[in-house]
Amino acid sequence: MSAERAMKEGLDLATRSQIAMLATVDADGYPNTRAMIRMENDGLKTIWFSTNTSSRKIGHLTANPRACVYFVDFEKWMGLMLVGEVEILRDAESRKRLWRKGYERYYPNGVDDPDYTVLRFTARRGRYYHALTRVDFEL
């Protein structure tokens, strides 16, 4: 499989996936992985998430912005790993971009709630897996 085809199939997987696994590195150098709602993506290069400012991942990412995002389709035995860095964004434009109706449940002060934060993951490289085939690619 060519890198171009792997990137195309990987993009399809990322775009239809509601959940992504986000791995950060803690203060002791160990990976910490959690399920996140994929809010938006700009191709494979940029994945957007929102989270609580008070979450542990914010501390991890402040100390070390390196991260990994993984998408999986268990039925089709497909996986996509993206490796890159995360930016922690608290600007009004980013917050409004990802704000969704119903978030007031988690952020009672609305889009300006101090516990509401946006994460922008920027991928450097990826690995696509399907049917016992692995393809690495650069972004």
Query: What is the residue whose two structure tokens read 């922690």?
Result: 88
The third-level CATH classification (topology) of the domain covering 3-132 is: Pnp Oxidase; Chain A (2.30.110)
Within 8 A by CB and 6+ apart from 121, the residues are 22, 46, 47, 48, 49, 67, 69, 82, 84, 85, 86
Residue 99 gets which letter from DSSP? -
**What pLDDT is attached to residue 131?**
87
In the predicted model, what is the mean pLDDT of residues 16-23? 97
DSSP 9-61: HHHHHHHH-SEEEEEEE-TTS-EEEEEEE--EEETTTEEEEEEETTSHHHHHH
Within 8 A by CB and 6+ apart from 132, the residues are none
Report CA-CA distances (Å) from 121 to 1, 71, 74, 109, 127.
26, 14, 23, 25, 16
pLDDT for residue 46 is more than 90: yes
pLDDT per position as a tens digit, 69-119:
999 999 999 999 999 999 999 999 999 999 999 999 999 999 999 999 999
In the predicted model, what is the mean pLDDT of residues 46-51? 97
Tokens of 94: 């980013």
